[in-house]
């Protein structure tokens, strides 16, 4: 999975269903995942329990003492009869004016989809083989998301809240047990959950770190004129692991000629090369030569001073 690496999308009718269900929630709804939530079966009864020792409690839905849903309250237990859209929301139990417990009750977004259905359009990227990566995905503004990683040793990582930026949700994950020198035998599993005032989404993704690596661009590109040639030198990205002999990089140099055409030169495992004197400017990119097909972004263009040298020679 390179960058971007979209997982196979849901069928169009399912994506429409996501939009319809999540967009029904107000835009100023949930900001974070509630401490407790419960997913009930659509049109089925849902039993909510109040975690308290109090015997006599009262219930509210979304802060209203007269809920829209049809309810049966029996002390610390509340039964919602027929979970539909009006019945979704935050159910709280009280002892007088004291809040005892709250549970968000929502319905599944995909009533006909198997549990753990994969396919949300997720893009993940790692800068190197350090076991850390970040993912982003598009979803309605009214939802909140979080993610959890199944680590290399088989344990579950902590839930990581997702933030929203430029119309997409983003989250960063770290596998502390990932070893960059060992072969990846099993893919990592990323579980994502989404919640709105009315609906719940859960989906998972499986991938290898080696398939999502996209290095940062090389650094410190320097150009020196030596006779009729240009000597170029650079350093690997600071985020790339060491030693360099083990984590070699393939470099792509792109240079522009006086007529405006561009040419490429590839260098593997070295951090210097030579170019013809006529190159006007140059930039550099890199990638892992053995696994990932994703090139880094380009470094900024670096002028060579070739045009000025030709003008001086013409005087």
Q: pLDDT of 18-28, one tens digit each?
A: 333 333 333 33
Instruction: Give the start-to-end residue ranges of the domains of the chain.
Output: 14-108, 117-211, 219-314
What CA–CA distance (Å, rounded) separates 73 from 93?
Answer: 10
Q: Is 93 helix (H, G, I), strand (E, B) or coil?
A: strand
| Ordered DSSP codes for 120-180 | --EEEEBSSSSSEEEEEE---TT-EEEEEEE-TTSPBPPPEE-EEETTEEEEEEE-TT--T
Predicted confidence at residue 29, as pLDDT, reads: 60
| Residue % of the chain over a pLDDT of 70 | 84
89-93, 95-99, 172-176, 224-228, range with the lowest pLDDT: 224-228
pLDDT digits (tens, 9 = 90+) for 229-280: 899 999 999 999 989 889 999 999 999 998 889 999 999 999 999 987 788 9
User: Binning pLDDT at 50, 70 and 90, where does residue 298 land?
Assistant: very high
Pick among 3.90.226.10, 3.40.50.720, 3.20.20.70, 2.60.40.10: CATH of 14-108: 2.60.40.10
Whether the domain at 14-108 and the domain at 117-211 fall into the same CATH topology? yes
User: For the stretch 219-249, what's the b/e string if a residue is b when 16 or more beta carbons lie within 10 angstroms of its beta carbon?
Assistant: eebebeeeeeebebebebbeebeeeeeebbb
What CA–CA distance (Å, rounded) separates 64 from 48?
Answer: 17
Is the pTM higher than 0.95?
A: no
What CA–CA distance (Å, rounded) separates 114 from 93?
Answer: 33
Using an 8 Å Cβ cutoff, are 203 and 120 in contact? Answer: yes
Architecture of domain 219-314: Sandwich (2.60)
240 phi, psi to nearest 5 deg: -80, 135
Q: Is 194 helix (H, G, I), strand (E, B) or coil?
A: strand
Residues contacting residue 9 through CB under 8 Å, at least 6 positions apart: 15, 119, 120, 121
Decide: residue 97, CB within 10 A, 0-12 exposed, 13-18 middle, 19+ buried.
exposed
Is the pLDDT at 140 greater than 70? The verdict is yes
Using an 8 Å Cβ cutoff, are 78 and 108 in contact? Answer: no
What CA–CA distance (Å, rounded) separates 299 from 26?
Answer: 43
Predicted confidence at residue 85, as pLDDT, reads: 85
Predicted confidence at residue 309, as pLDDT, reads: 54
What CA–CA distance (Å, rounded) separates 138 from 22?
Answer: 12
Using an 8 Å Cβ cutoff, are 78 and 164 in contact? Answer: no
Pairing relationship of beta strands 98-108 and 89-95 according to DSSP bridges: antiparallel
Cα angle 159, 195, 145; round to 5 = 40
45 phi, psi to nearest 5 deg: -80, 145
As assigned by CATH, the class of the 117-211 domain is mainly beta
What CA–CA distance (Å, rounded) separates 305 from 193?
Answer: 54
């Amino acid at each position: 999975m390179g960058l971007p690496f979209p997982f196979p999308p849901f069928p169009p009718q399912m994506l429409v269903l996501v939009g319809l269900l999540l967009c029904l929630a107000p835009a100023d709804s949930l900001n974070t995942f509630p401490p407790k939530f419960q997913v009930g079966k659509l049109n089925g009864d849902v039993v909510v329990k109040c975690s308290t020792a109090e015997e006599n409690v009262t219930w509210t839905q979304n802060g209203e003492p007269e809920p829209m849903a049809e309810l049966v309250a029996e002390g610390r237990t509340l039964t919602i009869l027929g979970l539909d859209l009006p019945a979704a929301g935050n159910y709280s139990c009280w002892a007088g004016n004291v809040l005892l417990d709250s549970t968000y009750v929502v319905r599944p977004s995909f009533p006909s989809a198997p549990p753990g259905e994969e396919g949300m359009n997720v893009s993940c990227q790692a800068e190197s083989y350090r076991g850390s990566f970040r993912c982003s995905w598009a979803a309605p503004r009214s939802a909140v998301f979080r993610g959890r990683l199944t680590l290399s040793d088989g344990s579950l990582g902590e839930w990581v809240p997702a933030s929203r930026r430029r119309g997409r949700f983003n989250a960063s994950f770290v596998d502390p047990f990932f070893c960059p020198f060992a072969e990846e035998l099993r893919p990592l599993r990323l579980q994502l959950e989404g919640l709105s005032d009315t609906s719940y989404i859960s989906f998972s993704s499986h991938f290898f770190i080696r398939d999502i690596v996209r290095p940062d661009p090389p650094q410190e590109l320097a150009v020196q004129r030596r006779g009729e040639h240009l000597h170029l030198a650079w350093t690997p990205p600071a985020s790339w692991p060491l030693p360099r002999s083990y984590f070699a990089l393939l470099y792509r140099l792109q240079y522009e000629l006086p007529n405006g055409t561009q040419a490429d030169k590839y260098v593997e495992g070295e951090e210097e090369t030579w170019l013809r004197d006529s190159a006007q400017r140059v930039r550099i990119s890199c990638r892992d030569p053995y696994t990932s097909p994703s090139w880094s972004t380009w470094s900024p263009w670096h002028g060579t001073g070739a045009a000025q040298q030709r003008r001086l020679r013409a005087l």
